Amino acid sequence: ESDGARTLVTSLLNQADSGSVLWDILDENEPAAAAARRLGFTPLRSLTRMRLGPDSVVSQVGPQYAIADPAIG
């Protein structure tokens, strides 16, 4: 895991309420999943990315340590 990812996640966790924290990680990104497990997270469910139309986006899973909930905007 990168130092930047670890710093960002630790900072966000320090600011979180004492309730549950959910972290969506793409299944293919084992380094991010391993980092989450080291911080005490446990898998809840699998995440499936869906698309409609041509596959025009090149996805680089490695640098993606988290994705935002679409409700965030």
Which tokens sit at 50?
């869906």
Q: What percent of the chain has pLDDT over 90?
A: 8
Task: Tell me the C-alpha distance between 36 and 55, whole Å.
Answer: 29
Which tokens sit at 62?
């490695």
Burial class from Cβ neighbours inside 10 Å (0-12, 13-18, 19+) for residue 43 reads exposed
Q: In this structure, are residues 70 and 50 in contact, taking their beta carbons and an 8 Å threshold?
A: no
When pLDDT is cut at 50, 70 and 90, the band that residue 18 belongs to is confident
Q: What is the pLDDT of residues 44-56, one digit of tens each?
A: 888 777 888 887 7
Cα dihedral sign, 66-26-42-73: positive
